[in-house]
Amino acid sequence: MSIKLRLTLMNFLQFFIWGTWLISLGGYMIQKLGFTGGTVGAVYATMGMASLFMPALLGIVADRWVNSERLLGICHILGAVFLYLASTITDPDQMYWVMLVNSLVFMPTIALNNTVSYNIMGQKKMDVIKDFPPIRVWGTIGFIIAMWVVDLGGWTLSPTQLYIGSIASLFLGVYAFTMPACPPVKTERKRSIVSALGLDALVLFKQQKTAVFFLFSMLLGAALQITNTFGSPFLQDFAKDSRFMDSFAVTHPGILMSVSQMSETLFILAIPFFLKRFGIKTVVLMSMFAWVLRFGLFGIGNPSEGLVFLILSMIVYGIAFDFFNISGSLFIEQETETKPEIRASAQGLFMVMTNGVGATVGGLTSGWVVDLFTSADGMKDWTTIWFVFAGYALAIGILFALFFRYKHNIQPAPQK
């Protein structure tokens, strides 16, 4: 099997695991286990909490002591154990703690997956910007297939979704140990206290360009958490209206939401062209204004005559997500090309800012916004809610354009 196929399988499984339960677990906990909304929110918040420090911490371990591919394998094997335990639990407190531990071992694997991919591609003298997106797109395909398997299998309200995730996690854990070795970078230089603590990646904050980029990574990470938390509840809320209760968007919200991931598979492939032609600043601005459309289209959409707006929102998500998350990861990789000893730490720090600080802030503040526009009888003014979120995305887009200083040099076309 070629190295591209091996990396493709690794990325496919990485996100297949997440797709088995991320969208459907909340419904299972509420409908079948009788958990409260607060409990479900707390379970989902464990991902943001874990991302505050675990990606950076394990990035340090990978930079200093343990091969990245081995650390990736260990995390997924542990994740398999805790997903299986979660499938057997009916108590809300126990579910919280088990899913917290699962988040502690799963969330850093996203950055570790990138680190292993970049490391191996570097060993094989591959062009990361050109060759990684077609590999990473299979991660999104894996997420989509997992969502469809669970939805069409009738397991959205069943612990079977956790069984499937557990089996996939175990397989990837073992498979990771067979990948080419990605050892820590050996260095002869004398370590400072900062270096000994593994905080070398923080030197990136000394550069205005990367410091500003990390700040807006946090702000845009909040936008992503808004969609993860309230996308499905928004669609399911239409069931309260007799005009929409039997519509496809209400009965199969998972499948409709998966259109977002389908869109990702297309726009990931466009990243090399846009990065080389326009540069990271323009590409991230495209992402930010795509978030404005994502939220705004939700605000005017419904499962009937407004279904086209919901579908357009799903399609726009591909630009909103890929043009920041994937391009941002590639930007950080380029910024550390001359500092391979902090590669994993830098990727972990990027994850901390987006899926950690950003997700936590996004979860807390978006919940406050939703409650603010919820009436005493529990009815939510979703149109206003989504327009508030769209305004937030517009504001950070304008600020990013003003404060992120980056000059892109267009690469000349090769001479024939």
Q: What is the pLDDT of residues 275-332, one digit of tens each?
A: 888 888 889 899 999 999 999 999 999 998 899 999 999 999 989 988 888 888 888 8
Same domain, 285 and 244: yes
- Contact in structure between 283 and 274 (CB atoms under 8 Å): yes
What's the number of domains the chain is made of?
Answer: 2
What is the percent of the chain where pLDDT is above 70? 90
* Cα separations in angstroms, 170 against 166, 209, 270, 304: 6, 40, 32, 42
What average pLDDT does range 135-147 have in this prediction?
90
Residue finishing a domain among 159, 184, 209: 184
Q: Which residues of 91-112 are buried (b: 16+ CB within 10 A; e: fewer)?
A: ebeebbbbbbbbbbbbbbbbbb
- Residue 413 domain-assigned (yes or no): no
- Contact in structure between 394 and 217 (CB atoms under 8 Å): no
Is pLDDT larger for residue 52 or for residue 410?
Answer: 52
Same domain, 62 and 170: yes
- Is pLDDT at 119 greater than 70 in this prediction? yes
Q: What is the dihedral of CA 204, 206, 208, 211, to 10 degrees?
A: 50
- Residue 104 domain-assigned (yes or no): yes
Measure the CA–CA gap between 301 and 307, rounded to whole angstroms. 6
What per-residue confidence (pLDDT) applies to 331?
81
What average pLDDT does range 18-31 have in this prediction?
83
Query: What is the chain's length?
Result: 416
- Residue 190 domain-assigned (yes or no): no
Same domain, 51 and 11: yes
Same domain, 155 and 237: no
Same domain, 228 and 142: no
The tens digit of pLDDT for each residue in 150-177 reads 888 888 889 999 999 999 999 999 999 9
Residues 6+ apart with CB under 8 A from 29: 35, 39, 40, 43, 92, 95
In the block, tokens 């050892």 appear at 183
The one-letter amino acid code at 381 reads D
Most confident of 4-8, 247-251, 401-405: 4-8
Measure the CA–CA gap between 321 and 299, rounded to whole angstroms. 19
**CA atoms lying within 13 Å on the CB side of residue 403:** 14
What per-residue confidence (pLDDT) applies to 200?
62
Same domain, 285 and 142: no
What per-residue confidence (pLDDT) applies to 344?
66
Same domain, 141 and 276: no
Residue finishing a domain among 143, 163, 184: 184
What per-residue confidence (pLDDT) applies to 414?
45
Same domain, 76 and 164: yes
CATH number at 89 reads: 1.20.1250.20
Measure the CA–CA gap between 57 and 9, rounded to whole angstroms. 26
Same domain, 203 and 319: yes
What per-residue confidence (pLDDT) applies to 252?
81
Domain of 82 in residue numbering reads as 1-184
What average pLDDT does range 106-118 have in this prediction?
90
DSSP 202-260: GGGGGSHHHHHHHHHHHHHHHHHHHHHHHHHHHHHGGGGSTTTTTSHHHH-HHHHHHHH
Q: Which residues of 183-200 are buried (b: 16+ CB within 10 A; e: fewer)?
A: eeeeeeeeeeeebeebbb
**Burial of residue 33, with CB atoms counted within 10 A of its CB: 0-12 exposed, 13-18 middle, 19 or more buried:** middle
What per-residue confidence (pLDDT) applies to 197?
42
